[in-house]
Amino acid sequence: MAIRRHILLARRAPFLALFAALLAAPFPALAAPGGSVTVTGTASATVIRPISITATAPLRFGVMAQPATAGTVTVNTAGVVTTSGGMVGNTAIAQGSTGPRAGTFRVTGEPGRQFFVTLPLAATVSRSGGGTMTITLFTVGALSGSPAGTRDIAVGGTLAVGAAQAIGTYNGTYQITASYN
């Protein structure tokens, strides 16, 4: 008889488990015919610090001699200069306070929040009296700074210098956007 009772319990076990699961499952509030019922839902919102970005140093390509043939000057995110074309061997690239350097920006936002930056495809620098050069291949360096909501980034780029580029000081701007992921 003990074996038979064990078998009967085994046959009832799936039914009992299903019955217990149904009792534990949440059921919608029901009303008697013609009645009404109310249930309360939940909602939440979190407001975080807005993201901001501030330029802290300009991207500078330095002072260079007028080339006979077109070339490029690249300043990477560490401020290291490389040249190509007519700019190769241009030893007049100045060092010191007017020398080449990466542009730097400070991004401030919610601590622990990830963000990304968007760089332009190109920008133009021009001089008073005419003449332009184009900056392309913008790059962004590794982040540095505090994980408490402030990060500094470096931006580099490549300047296209024309053959017999007009002599003068060239200035311009470029847009960089910081956004939360």
**Domain limits at 105?**
52-180
Strand 71-75 relative to strand 132-140: parallel, antiparallel, unpaired? unpaired
Q: pLDDT tens for residues 9-55?
A: 344 455 555 555 555 556 566 666 778 889 999 999 999 999 999 99
Q: Which residues of 50-84 are buried (b: 16+ CB within 10 A; e: fewer)?
A: ebebeeeeebbbbebeebeeebbbbbbbebebebe
Quick check: is 45 in a domain? Answer: no
Report the number of distinct structural domains present in the chain.
Answer: 1
User: How many angstroms separate the CA atoms of 93 and 87, rounded?
Assistant: 10
Q: pLDDT tens for residues 122-170?
A: 999 999 999 999 999 999 987 766 667 888 999 999 999 999 999 999 9
Quick check: is 147 in a domain? Answer: yes
The DSSP secondary structure of 162-181, one letter per residue, reads: -TTPPPS--EE----EEEE-
Quick check: is 99 in a domain? Answer: yes
- The length of the chain in residues reads 181
Quick check: is 37 in a domain? Answer: no
